[in-house]
Amino acid sequence: MSWKFKLTALLLTAAPVITLSQTLAISDTKTAPDPPITVTLQDALDRARAYSPEFHAALTELGIAHEDKVQSRASLLPSVNYNSQFIYTQPAPGNAPRFIANNGVREYIALGNAHQSLDPASFALYRRTVALEAATTARAQIATRGLVVTVTQVYYGFVVAQRKYSTAQQAATEAGRFFDISRKLEKGGEVAHADTIKARLQANDKERDLREAVLAMEKARVDLAILIFPDFNQNFTTVDDLRLPDNIPGFDEVTRLASSNNSELAVALALVKAGDSEVKASRAAYFPTLGLDYNYGIDASRFALRTDGESNLGYSAAVTFNLPIWNWGSTHSKVKQSILRRDQSRLELNFVQKKLLGQLKVFYTEAQTALSELDLLRNSAQLAADSLHLTTLRYQSGEATVLEVVDAQNTLTMARNTFDDAEVRYRTSLSNLQTLTGKF
- With 0-12 / 13-18 / 19 or more C-beta atoms within 10 angstroms meaning exposed / middle / buried, residue 244 is exposed
User: What is the pLDDT, as a whole number, of residue 9?
Assistant: 37
| Cα–Cα separations (whole angstroms), residue 389 to 192, 234, 384, 396, 397 | 22, 38, 9, 11, 13
- Cα–Cα distance measured from residue 8 to residue 353, given in angstroms and rounded to the nearest whole number: 54
Q: Which pLDDT belongs to residue 233?
A: 87
What are the residues facing 113 on neighbouring strands? Answer: 81, 295
Say which residues have a Cβ less than 8 Å from residue 274's Cβ, sequence separation at least 6: 128, 131, 132, 135, 345
Residues in the chain: 440
Do residues 388 and 416 make contact, with C-beta atoms less than 8 angstroms apart? no
Domain ranges of the chain: 45-77+119-287+329-437, 80-118+289-323
Indicate the pTM of the whole model. 0.80
Any alpha helices (H) in 229-329, and if so which ranges?
251-261, 263-283
Note the CATH architecture for domain 80-118+289-323.
Answer: Single Sheet (2.20)
Q: Residue 245: its pLDDT value, please?
A: 64
Rg (CA), the chain: 38
pLDDT at 301: 86
CATH match for 45-77+119-287+329-437 among 3.90.650.10, 3.40.50.12280, 1.20.1600.10, 3.40.50.720? 1.20.1600.10
Q: What is the identity of the amino acid at 190?
A: E
Question: What is the mean pLDDT, run by run of 10 residues, along the chain of 440 residues?
Answer: 37 38 41 80 95 94 96 94 91 82 87 93 94 96 95 96 96 95 91 93 96 97 95 91 79 92 95 96 94 94 87 93 93 96 96 95 94 93 96 92 95 96 93 90
Please list the alpha-helical segments (H only) found in 52-107: 53-74
Strand spans (E) along 103-229: 106-118
The share of the chain scoring above pLDDT 90, in percent, equals 78
| Per-residue pLDDT tens digits for 201-244 | 999 999 999 999 999 999 999 999 999 999 988 899 999 988 76
Predicted confidence at residue 33, as pLDDT, reads 67
